Structure 1
Amino acid sequence: MAMIAGRWSGRGRDGSEWVLTRADDGFAFRHRTGDVQIPAGEADRIAVERRWWRTFLTVTGTDHGGRGRLGGLTRREGQALTWAVGEVLLQSLEAWHDTVESAIAGARRDLVWMTEEATGALITARPNVTGVDQAKLVRDPASYGTEAVRLRIQAANWEVAAASVAAYRSFFDRVETSPLTEEQARAVIAYDNRLQVVAAAGSGKTSVMVARAAYAVKRGLARPDEILLLAFNVDAAAELQTRIQARFAAASLPSKGLQVSTFHAFGLSVIGQATGRKPTVAPWVTNGQDISVLAQIVGDLRKQDAEFGLDWDTFRLLFARPGGDLTGELVPDAWDAAQRVAGLKTFRGEIVRSHGERLIADWLFLHGVSYEYERPYVHDTVDQKHGQYRPDFYYPKIDTWHEHWGVDAQGKPPPTWTGYEAGMSWKRQLHRDHGAQLLETTFAGVIIDGTDLPRLRDELQGRGVTFQWDPDRLRHSSVKPVEDAELLRLIRVFMTHVKSNGLTRDHLEERLKGDGANRSERTRRFVQLYWRVHDAWQDKLAREGCVDFEDMLTEATAELEADRFTSPYRLVMVDEFQDVSRARARLTSGLLRGPGRHLMVVGDDWQSINRFAGADVSVMTDFNGYFGPGPTLRLTKTFRNHPVVAETAARFITRNPAQLAKQVVSAHSHVLRQSAHEGVCLCWVASASQISSAIADFLVDLDDRVRVGTVSAQVGHRVTVDVLGRYRHDRALLPSRVPDRIDARFRTIHSAKGLEADYVVVPNLAAGTYGFPSEITDDPVLALALTDVDTYPYAEERRLFYVALTRARRGVLLLSPENNPSPFVTELVKEGLVSVAAERGRNSVTVCPQCSEGTLRRRDGRYGAFWGCSTFPRCRFTTPSL
């Protein structure tokens, strides 16, 4: 082969000729399959390989696919080609670097934010110079790396942001009624493809959204008709629309065509435009009658199928207790004074030692089976190693004993239960020695796989025991079961998440194989009930030609993903992002298909309180994983809260490490003195019955302070007080008469989201099933339908309490019964985050030093007075004196 400068040629194994020619902009490759141009930046497609005494050429990305090596090169020719390829690559890398620097310089000059999309395109265009001698590069080789380029672009963006704030200061001062702060303006300017703004309560997130839309129009980044704002309810959407029109007009900007919509209204319009048939959302969904419809569905199923009715009652009465995790740690709810042990109270009144024993006892009771719990064994068993043996259950009508073992499917107890297996052997041998009849069940058989209760029933019936299920036996029980309404609400929440996450029967069956509460008889029974109700719900929707919100959002997303609806929006903004469901997130993602799309979401994961409506806070905490790379900015200055309120709320909520971190500061930090009723104050009451009078006293005292001028009201306005209850029935705590200078209203905390008042009263901060935190909202079965579960104790209830605190501009009054305080209250007291009011003479309540959840109460015992924890028997701390 004759070599010409910049030209190489030879023959392949099949005898075909090939020619490679160096050109100014790369290489030209000619082969029997055609001519291929190889740009300089792709010169790494050309490879020279030396095998023994032969040199081969491989060119990838051609029709021959690089499958065969092309021969004909001498060693010297191969070295020359390798050198030439390296030279071209280094030249292309220098050219690429110049392009990057030119783009950065242009962004700085024109005050243009370099988006992730633009950055990605630059990174993708970088030539691959792996294996090439980079000593000849003009600059330090590290400066050509993709990470170095990303850092330069990032630095340039923040330079652009700082310069833009200064250049557009007059715009940022006028676009909203109050001038935008530096961090608000930067959130507006950071015009990336994906941007998350984590906004503290009262930090002006709506101002940022309005200003962002106006800035996009002013800079020519998007026309009004290319902008979409999504809100969660009609009121929020209407407020945004009004603000947009008013502020655009003030800034002399056009707003016609800019769309503000709820997710639901927008989803319906997508389906209507894509299919020509706009669906109808079931009226019983839109008017809040969904639980009533579920009750009707369950009632019909019970009439049609007696087995369903039995399954429903069995789950509700035996498995659906508050807390619900029968696989977890035992939390005692009763005290056996005779045996001096804590345990769980059964329907019949005994105090038993485990979830399994209570389930068995209640199951026997509801079936009318006569039993005795821990009856002393008929034979004396006391010796040097053993006390008197008390088997778990005894059936007197058939003279049969029953032991419930705390062992797994392999017959093994927990590792810390020293001597348990030896005790099992001793008890079994004892029954054999005396010829006694012994029945056995296990934790695994009752709680996990559910096989032992049916087997126990067969064994007892085989011995002549009669079973007759009768829920009416509970009429005389002091233990109240879960009501139908509570189970219906749980099913509705579960349904919302199942649909939002697109889960099928197969998905749930796979998750049922997991660990912990997911893999239990309780969860399996719930899922079986759920699918019966789910199918009936879907049948009703189909009969009436309607959809529910979750199905509608799923269908709208399908239309977007199938390109049957082409989104005209270049800028999409989502308000209250902490409350999005997976279905809403998928719909949002569907709007971003294709280049040149921008998403800004604004929210506060600390205020995610709508899991009952499908909200999945993990969409926000994993924003980049779900929507792609982009910056996260924070609005940390609250314009609402008194500094003490802001600090107390932030310190309380940040105990949960699973949340997004941010520092919250008050714009009123110059307020150094904490006047009466400002900050966060705790008032103990003797019992829940005194809460209403405590609220009345607070309002009267506040009215007096307004009268004498120590508490100011705006001219022409009264001081506002919101009494924020955890439940609707807390409304009864609001006094019937309110002083003239005070405007007092009751709201639930959920309905107060987004609102504010001068003062907030949080009443009835008690522990218990319907306390605050509620023990009925975090049922473990919900984990089966959620993508990412926050395992921090009372995670959503903590966020709800944070929302209550941060509604207050000036001060918060917390009311808690000293005999049954909320663990939130004792945490605040222990951490020194509240001042304690002395007006009612109860400013010396002591938090339990052992559990930190209860307070110490004076009790009388067999040896006189002592102090014990209010959470007894869960905590059994005592002290003779304080």
Structure 2
Amino acid sequence: MLFITPLIFKYTAPYLSIGIHDDGIVLHNRHGKPELLLWKQINQPPKLDRKVVFSYLTISHTHGQLSQPIKVENKLEFTLRLQKLWVLHHQKALMERILKLERLLKERYLSHGLMSMLMSALIPYCDKWLSWDIRCEISTELVQAIATLKEFTQWSSSDIAEFQESYVSYKLREHEAFFDTVEKLPLTAAQRRACVIQDERQLLLAGAGTGKTSVMIAKAQYLAHTRQAYAKHILMLAYGNEAAREMVQRASQYPTFPKCMTFHKLGLKIIESVEGKAPKISTLAQNEVEKRTFVKETILLLCQEEQYQLSFTRYAECSGKDLQSIRQYLEGSKGGRLLKTITGALAHLKCARAMNSLSRVETHFSDALLCIRPILAEYSLYLSNEKAIDFEDMVLKSIKYVQEKRFISPWTHFLVDEFQDISPIRAKLLKALITQSERHHLFCVGDDWQSIYRFSGADISYTTDFTNFFGKGTVTQLDTTFRYHQALLDVSSRFICANPSQIMKRISAHSTDDIAPLVYVEGSDDQQSLLIALSQLNARAGKGCSVLILARYHKLLPDKSHLSMLQQQFERLELGTMTFHGSKGKEADYSILLGLHAGAGGVPAQEGEGTLLNALLPEQGHFPHAEERRLFYVALTRAKRQVYLIKPKANPSEFLLELDN
């Protein structure tokens, strides 16, 4: 089919003639040389625009667009011919793409990343197939493919959510037997959903006793079971050594299990991989007493310089006029507290500097920084001379190696436990790892209600504002606690949610025992009240009943000999003592809370709002005693049955009064 350019356009038209063939369109230029445009190079069927006498044929192709005047007798027949030939050469690619899409959506959760990838892949097909009216006859399969393309590109957020829900329901049915047997007890519906959902960024909000460790283990096993990831490509990260050991112990019961480690061990592995040997960890980093002694001796050394001595005595508010008096001050109780503060500030100062977050501190604490920066410089010099690093260096160095791509992650899936305890530098390391590839997935389990380690750098905002830092993702919740009954759940939940900044959760208790959650005991003092509580429990509880005696401070707990005496006196009970912080993750049949008075040494602890150390730590929000409230919530949720609250005769804690009301 050959079309000669009308004579009137002989000197203005780009081509002398156009030929329509099965394999493409042949264009004859002014030199008589033919140019072949294959149908695969043409973006959509050539368009015929009818003018008064002549028509213009517009062809959009991979190298641009051309418009050629031609004379056509039967416009409809010509248009159908063009469409048929174009469709013949393009339909296979579309149908294969749609088939691949449908298979992918059947096997993979429609995550944010997958949705973005699919939309990017389909945009060229939308331009080709959805921007013109199909008038030629096409197959039923092609009609369905075009309809699927159109439907998918028009999905709203509610359509996506509906599709995701149907996928989750399908996978829950398909893998029901797996979820029934992967752990000792069948997983709950919420636990199963957390395993099936596979967004690139996923946060699972837990609660006390909701079985978060079971989900961590089940998630890793589900990834391997469904062949979404090999065990060697999964990394499980824990906050501390004890939690990591528990995960290893639980995970090692399965035929294949992933790597489990702490962030420090991860840092060690990254550095060793890049440098070829494990770094030396400074003795000061591993021994707090030695580090504090180093700080003291460094201060005395620096104080030999008159200007520093003036700066230090002003900051420390001590009246030392010579080195001996400054030494005496540092070896006293007040100086000892200052040494503890400075020693702690060194690590946070180093991290704040690395995170470029010192500006808010420098204005208000210039005197303190004037004293502490030289100490940090001496500390860094000591580490350099020792050819060693501390734990902060370990993470910071790892971040550098990952960002520079000197370390390429062998893991594609990162599962993080106790996510509410993550610090800014650990979050930065995690983000550096997961952004190395679009195929990397992050799954975090955390409970903002139990975020109690701000003093060591934990930043709750990474949990409460998860997607703002890590990117688009999915946040779900565990909804059943297996530890305690509904009444204790209601009391503790009301208490923690008095702070509106805490994430609201709908949790129900597996147990519905009709028992008073709180028992108030009031004696002449805490020791007498403790005996009263233990006597009551010894009389009513079964043999071997566990009881945790808890206090905000270690000094308020019975010492080892006293506990031994109490154990002999109340032999039906199994007694243990812990601080509120130490009790996190533990449970007992009953708990007894001591030291519930207000003020110094009581609950809530008095916070050092105007101190440098406090300023170096992550912001804690505006609600009064937010972290102390979370800590008290942790203490309230250790018991399976009842919490005994030792009520002082005078000056009771505001938390105690709040519960009493």
TM-score range, shorter chain: 0.7 to 0.9
Residue type of the alignment partner of 2:256: P
Q: 1:508 aligns with which of 352, 355, 358?
A: 358
1:719 aligns to what?
545
Aligned to 1:809, the other structure's residue is in SS state strand
- 8 A contact 2:292–2:340 mirrored in 1: no
Matches within 5 A, 1:361-510: 483-503=334-354, 508-509=358-359
Distance 1:215 1:729 in 2: 45
Query: 1:550 Cα deviation (Å)?
Result: 1.1
Query: 1:134 Cα deviation (Å)?
Result: 6.8
Distance 2:250 2:621 in 1: 35
Query: 1:117 Cα deviation (Å)?
Result: 2.5
User: Which has the larger displacement, 813-822 or 572-581?
Assistant: 813-822
Aligned to 1:639, the other structure's residue is in SS state strand
Query: 1:23 Cα deviation (Å)?
Result: 11
1:198 aligns to what?
205
- 8 A contact 1:640–1:809 mirrored in 2: yes
Residue type of the alignment partner of 1:524: S
1:762-785 deviations in whole A, cap 9, x for unaligned?
211122233211113555645644
User: How does the TM-score come out when normalised to structure 2?
Assistant: 0.79
Aligned to 1:125, the other structure's residue is in SS state helix
Distance 1:313 1:29 in 2: 91
Matches within 5 A, 1:263-282: 263-282=263-282
Distance 1:492 1:75 in 2: 86
2:590 aligns to what?
759
Q: Structure 1 pair 284/819, CA: closer, same or farther in 2 (3 Å)?
A: same
1:729 aligns to what?
555
1:589 aligns to what?
431
Query: 1:95 Cα deviation (Å)?
Result: 10
Query: 1:576 Cα deviation (Å)?
Result: 0.8
Residue type of the alignment partner of 1:622: D
Distance 2:557 2:529 in 1: 14
Aligned to 2:220, the other structure's residue is in SS state helix
Q: Structure 1 pair 314/93, CA: closer, same or farther in 2 (3 Å)?
A: farther
- 8 A contact 1:297–1:533 mirrored in 2: no
> Identity of aligned pairs, percent?
27
Count of residues in correspondence between the two structures: 612
Q: 2:110 aligns with which of 110, 114, 117?
A: 114
2:237 aligns to what?
230
Query: 1:276 Cα deviation (Å)?
Result: 1.2
Query: 1:578 Cα deviation (Å)?
Result: 0.8
1:420 aligns to what?
none
Query: 1:484 Cα deviation (Å)?
Result: 2.9
- 8 A contact 2:521–2:646 mirrored in 1: yes
Query: 1:732 Cα deviation (Å)?
Result: 4.2
- 8 A contact 1:312–1:529 mirrored in 2: yes
Q: 1:241 aligns with which of 204, 227, 248?
A: 248
Query: 1:76 Cα deviation (Å)?
Result: 13
Q: Structure 1 pair 743/28, CA: closer, same or farther in 2 (3 Å)?
A: farther
- 8 A contact 1:231–1:263 mirrored in 2: yes
Q: 2:391 aligns with which of 549, 567, 589?
A: 549
Query: 1:103 Cα deviation (Å)?
Result: 5.8
1:797 aligns to what?
628
Q: Structure 1 pair 144/315, CA: closer, same or farther in 2 (3 Å)?
A: farther
Query: 1:265 Cα deviation (Å)?
Result: 1.3
- 8 A contact 1:302–1:309 mirrored in 2: yes
1:284 aligns to what?
284
Aligned to 1:641, the other structure's residue is in SS state strand
1:601 aligns to what?
444
Instruction: Please state if 1:824 is matched with 2:655.
Output: yes
Distance 1:231 1:182 in 2: 24
Matches within 5 A, 1:592-671: 592=434, 593-668=436-511, 670-671=512-513
Matches within 5 A, 1:325-344: none
1:838 aligns to what?
none
Distance 2:37 2:643 in 1: 75
Matches within 5 A, 1:313-332: 313-317=313-317
Query: 1:242 Cα deviation (Å)?
Result: 1.4
Q: 1:692 aligns with which of 521, 524, 527?
A: 527
Q: Structure 1 pair 507/607, CA: closer, same or farther in 2 (3 Å)?
A: closer
Q: 2:520 aligns with which of 682, 703, 706?
A: 682
Distance 1:727 1:215 in 2: 42
- 8 A contact 1:725–1:747 mirrored in 2: yes
Matches within 5 A, 1:517-596: 519-520=363-364, 523-592=365-434, 593-596=436-439
Q: Structure 1 pair 309/769, CA: closer, same or farther in 2 (3 Å)?
A: farther
- Between structures 1 and 2, the one with greater helix share: 2
- 8 A contact 2:420–2:447 mirrored in 1: yes
2:601 aligns to what?
770
Query: 1:204 Cα deviation (Å)?
Result: 0.7
1:311 aligns to what?
311
Distance 2:103 2:37 in 1: 34
Instruction: Please state if 1:812 is matched with 2:650.
Output: no
1:719-774 deviations in whole A, cap 9, x for unaligned?
11111121121124895532111122211111111111111122111222332111
Distance 2:175 2:370 in 1: 60
1:10-50 deviations in whole A, cap 9, x for unaligned?
999xx99999999999999999xx9999989988xx9x9xx
- 8 A contact 1:41–1:126 mirrored in 2: no
1:137-196 deviations in whole A, cap 9, x for unaligned?
999999758672554343222222222222222211211111111111111111222211
Cα RMSD over matched residues?
Answer: 4.7
Q: Structure 1 pair 694/631, CA: closer, same or farther in 2 (3 Å)?
A: same
1:330 aligns to what?
none
Q: Structure 1 pair 819/204, CA: closer, same or farther in 2 (3 Å)?
A: same
Q: Structure 1 pair 136/607, CA: closer, same or farther in 2 (3 Å)?
A: farther
1:180-231 deviations in whole A, cap 9, x for unaligned?
1111111111122221111111111111111111111111112221121111
Query: 1:277 Cα deviation (Å)?
Result: 2.9
Distance 1:232 1:655 in 2: 27
Query: 1:607 Cα deviation (Å)?
Result: 0.9
Moved over 6 A (4+): 2-5, 9-12, 15-31, 34-43, 57-62, 70-77, 90-101, 132-135, 137-143, 468-472
- 8 A contact 1:636–1:664 mirrored in 2: yes
Aligned to 1:200, the other structure's residue is in SS state coil
Distance 1:21 1:289 in 2: 90
Aligned to 1:813, the other structure's residue is in SS state strand
Instruction: Please state if 1:165 is matched with 2:154.
Output: no
Distance 1:17 1:634 in 2: 66
1:769-820 deviations in whole A, cap 9, x for unaligned?
3321111355564564456542221111111111111111111122232422
Distance 1:29 1:172 in 2: 64
Distance 2:160 2:188 in 1: 24
2:538 aligns to what?
703
Residue type of the alignment partner of 2:120: T
Distance 1:290 1:488 in 2: 12
Distance 1:41 1:288 in 2: 72
Q: Structure 1 pair 828/119, CA: closer, same or farther in 2 (3 Å)?
A: same
Q: 1:741 aligns with which of 572, 576, 590?
A: 572
- 8 A contact 1:104–1:153 mirrored in 2: no
Distance 2:428 2:272 in 1: 18
- 8 A contact 1:783–1:789 mirrored in 2: no
- 8 A contact 1:188–1:212 mirrored in 2: yes
- 8 A contact 2:204–2:477 mirrored in 1: yes
Query: 1:658 Cα deviation (Å)?
Result: 2.2
- 8 A contact 2:3–2:70 mirrored in 1: no
Q: 2:119 aligns with which of 114, 123, 144?
A: 123
